[in-house]
Structure formats: C-alpha cells, structure tokens
Structure 1
Amino acid sequence: MRIGELASRAGVSVRALRYYEEQGLLESERTPGGQRDYPDTAVERVRFFQSMYAAGLSSRRIADMLSCFDNGTTNAQQRAMLAEERVRIDARIAELMGARGRLEELIVAASDRAG
C-alpha cells in the first residue's frame, strides 16, 4: 500500500511514517516510479509504535522491542527491558490516577457549591 493509505489506515501522518523509516522502525519497498510501498502488516506495526510512544518510550527503546513484536521471542536482556518498561508505565498510571482523583474532588466540590 502507498504511504497515504498507510497513514490513513494507521491514523498517523505521512510525516510520522517517514520519521519511522528514518529511525529504522519501518521499511518500505520502492515502486518503479519511486513511491514507497508498504505491506499490509505495516498498519499494525505503526499502531504498535503509536501506543509505545504514547506510553513514553523512545524510538531506540521501540527498536529494541521489534524482534519481540515481529517474532514473539525474547532473550533475557529483552525480557528485563520489557519488565522495566512495564514498571515505569505502572508508575505513570498511578500518577495519572492520582491526578484524576484530584480532578474528581474539584468537580464534586464545584458541583456542591453550584447546586
């Protein structure tokens, strides 16, 4: 599929796809006319990148995970890295839940004063 279609199906910009290629995260072949051509599997791969970026992982960290994503296999070092990221994400979730709780308190307090 062409870059525009991949961008649309994965919900990202064309610029993001070019960045992923520059970082070595995504590969494409070139058509005789020089256009990028991606396999159908690229959609799920890009969605994986997006979720990992949203969780705060760097391009380098995502690149370290690609063999896990592609093959479902890991070595001891990769398993340790994945566990480390899970702990970091769990801590971030706890922080966000605390912020959500404080917002809820403000909403309730504001509602009590208004009503």
Structure 2
Amino acid sequence: MRIGELSRRTGVAVHLLRYYGEQGLLHPQRRPSGYREYVEEDVAIVRRIRSLLAAGLNTATITTVLPCLRDTGDRLVPTCSDLLADLHQERDRIAQAISDLQASMDALNDVIAAAPADVTRRAVASLGG
C-alpha cells in the first residue's frame, strides 16, 4: 500500500509517516518510481508507535524499544529482558516531569491566590465571568 492508504488506515498524517521512516521506525520498500510501499504489518507498527508516543516516549527511545514489543491486541508486552530497565528509566523520567509540573502549578496557584480582591474581580470580568 502507498503512504496515503497507510495514512487513511491509521489516522496518522502523511508527513508524520515520512518522519517515522526518517527516524528508523518504519522501513517501507521503494518502488522504481520512488514511491514508498508499505505492508499490512506497518499498520500495526504505526499503532504501536502512536501508543508509545502517547505513553510519553520520544521517537529515539521508541526506535530501541519497538523491536522488543509484541502486541497482544489489548496491550504491548515486552519480549526482551533488558527492555524493562529502559522502561523503568522512562517511567521515572515521566514521573519527575509530572512532579516538576505540579510544583510549577502550585507556585502559580500561590501567586494567583495572593492577588488582591479588586485585581481578581477585574480579571474575572475581563474573562467574561
């Protein structure tokens, strides 16, 4: 199938599919005309990529993780023993990012709460509330 068909079947934009190829996540064959030719398995691979991106992994990490995952239909299962350590590191990185964002939100809430009543009223009025 050509890239447009893969895009339609996965809901992923053509430019992203090309990017996945540049990152080594997809390996389409090239026709003599230069067009990329994808196989049925690429549909499942794109879905795995999207799942891993949604889980917070970047494409560089996905490149190393993807070959070590099997799709059972309802979840991705690691198949390489050394993969779990990498996934634990990624989970720790994401947890730290969440913690940092929560601290930033708490600080912002403190600043907002310290606003005088007249400033708060004007701000609410300007928002249409």
TM-score for both structures, normalised by structure 1: 0.68
CA RMSD of aligned residues (A): 2.5
Cα displacement (A) at 1:54: 1.6
Amino acid at match of 1:83: H
Match of 2:80 in 1: 74
Structure with the bigger percentage of helix: 1
Separation in 2, partners of 1:40, 1:89: 32
Mark the runs of 5 or more structure 2 residues left unpaired by the alignment.
Answer: 72-77, 102-129
Task: Give the greater-gyration-radius structure (CA).
Answer: 2
Matches within 5 A, 1:50-89: 50-69=50-69, 73-76=79-82, 78-86=83-91
Structure with the bigger percentage of strand: 2
Moved over 6 A (4+): none
Distance 1:43 1:90, change over 3 A: farther
* Secondary structure in structure 2 of the residue aligned to 1:79: helix
Separation in 2, partners of 1:59, 1:41: 19
State the Cα deviation string for residues 64-99 of structure 1 (Å, max 9, x = none): 1122126963132x221123334566786xx9xxxx
Segment of structure 1 superposing worse, 21-30 or 63-72: 63-72
Separation in 2, partners of 1:11, 1:80: 31
Mapped pair 1:43 → 2:43: yes
Match of 2:105 in 1: none
Matches within 5 A, 1:2-41: 2-41=2-41
TM-score for both structures, normalised by structure 2: 0.61
Mark the runs of 5 or more structure 1 residues left unpaired by the alignment.
Answer: 96-115
Count, aligned residues: 94
Separation in 1, partners of 2:95, 2:47: 20
Amino acid at match of 1:8: R
Amino acid at match of 2:80: T
